[in-house]
Structure 1
Amino acid sequence: MTIGLYHPGQSALHRASAGAKLSALVVVSLALFVAPSIWVALASVPIAFAVYLATGAPFRRLMAQLRGPAILLGLVFVFHLAFGSVAEGVLAVTRFATLILLASAVTLSTPVSEMAELVEWGLGPLRPLGVNPEKVGLAIALAIRFVPLIAEEFRHIREAQAARGLAANPLALIVPLVIRTLKSADELADAIEARGYER
């Protein structure tokens, strides 16, 4: 699953602060898992879908983001069906689907820089303990940025191999993906060092 990246817009969701959106996401997450009602969970899905659409992101982007989680949600449903009941399966799937939609909406409407600044602010009190908020914020920002880039590299490699008529081979996909990822990480490290970040 690729959650993010930022999708520019002027919606109320875009104008809200990163802290407010992340706080709301935490509260809704807790409420979903505390509320035992399946009807609450079912009602939350269309609401979360509407929140996602409010970001203005293309519908095809949502479909691409849900491709991976759909498999996971299917496995969760089958597990509950085998060891529990249909109602438990529906409850679990709707809860996770809601959280995925809302988390996507938050990342799509929040620049990575704002998320990093929020992390730096939150970790500020830990500075006397040796924690460097700026470095942690940078690490999180880079992690968020790298996830979709790796997914894009994977897609390019797979398309290139398919164009050559090569059969799907996990090893043939993983090796060039790892090499490209390490190369990108090395270039990024050089760029950070050149800008004197450590100083």
Structure 2
Amino acid sequence: MIAGLYRAGDSPLHRTGAGTKLLALVLFGTLLLSVASPIVAAGGLLLVLGLYLAAGFGARIFLAQLRPVALVLVLLALAQLWLSTPSEALLLVLRFAALVLAAGLVTLTTRTADLVASLERRLSPLARLGLDVGKISLAVSLAIRFIPAVGQIAAEVREAQIARGRRPSPVSLVVPLIVRLLKMADEIAEAIDARS
């Protein structure tokens, strides 16, 4: 199963309820995606950086969250430069980085059990429609944790290749990364089935 990403702390962000953080994440993402301004996206990224500092996480943890998705950010920027304008490429990278870091901050400051419990409470009215709220809340909380976990897996694959004397490249990284992600998806599916 996914290793715990939570880091204990006593900051105001750690003490904030899981439901409040999830709602803030949704609102932040909606605002970030609805405003097509690189300046606003840069402001959002700076806000997230400030929240990392307020939570007691230094630049090392901030960069550790961003480093695994750096290759994806570069590829997205190059694709956007090819298909669109430099301004659009910058906007996409800033948005993506801010969202990844915001989701990472939620997982760093919130226990998974608290995320699942909060989602179950918020989604409980859907149980009347015959939906399995427990499974839905578990799937959503795992999806929130998925981005930082993908980055962690990519870093592990890259380190393993370096340890074997191979020079990592995007092509040699993709296959083992996909295999590990599929294995993780199976484990997640088993966890969801075991919960029912």
User: Does TM, normalized by the shorter one, top 0.5?
Assistant: yes
Deviations 1:57-90 (A, max 9, x none): 3533333322221111111111221121111111
Change in Cα spacing, 1:93 to 1:138, as seen in structure 2 (3 Å) is closer
- Code of the aligned partner of 2:50: A
Q: How does 1:1-199 map to 2 (within 5 A)?
A: 5-138=5-138, 144=145, 148=149, 151=152, 155=156, 159=160, 165=164, 167=166, 185=187
Q: 1:55 touches 1:108 (CA, 8 Å); kept in 2?
A: no
- Code of the aligned partner of 2:40: V
Secondary structure at the aligned position of 1:31 is classed as: helix
Cα drift, residue 108 of structure 1: 0.9
Alpha-carbon RMSD across the aligned residues, in angstroms, is 4.0
Q: 1:3 touches 1:107 (CA, 8 Å); kept in 2?
A: no
Q: In structure 2, what is the Cα distance between the partners aligned to 1:181 and 1:68?
A: 17
Cα drift, residue 136 of structure 1: 4.0
Q: In structure 1, what is the Cα distance between the partners aligned to 2:142 and 2:92?
A: 31
Q: In structure 2, what is the Cα distance between the partners aligned to 1:158 and 1:136?
A: 34
Q: In structure 2, what is the Cα distance between the partners aligned to 1:156 and 1:62?
A: 21
Q: 1:127 touches 1:133 (CA, 8 Å); kept in 2?
A: yes
Q: 1:45 touches 1:98 (CA, 8 Å); kept in 2?
A: yes
Deviations 1:97-122 (A, max 9, x none): 11112111111111111110112112
Q: 2:19 touches 2:119 (CA, 8 Å); kept in 1?
A: no
Change in Cα spacing, 1:4 to 1:57, as seen in structure 2 (3 Å) is farther
How many residue pairs align between the two structures?
187
Q: In structure 2, what is the Cα distance between the partners aligned to 1:64 and 1:27?
A: 25
What stretches of structure 2 of length at least 5 have no aligned partner? none
Q: In structure 1, what is the Cα distance between the partners aligned to 2:41 and 2:158?
A: 39
Cα drift, residue 38 of structure 1: 2.1
What stretches of structure 1 of length at least 5 have no aligned partner? none
Cα drift, residue 130 of structure 1: 2.9
Change in Cα spacing, 1:98 to 1:121, as seen in structure 2 (3 Å) is same
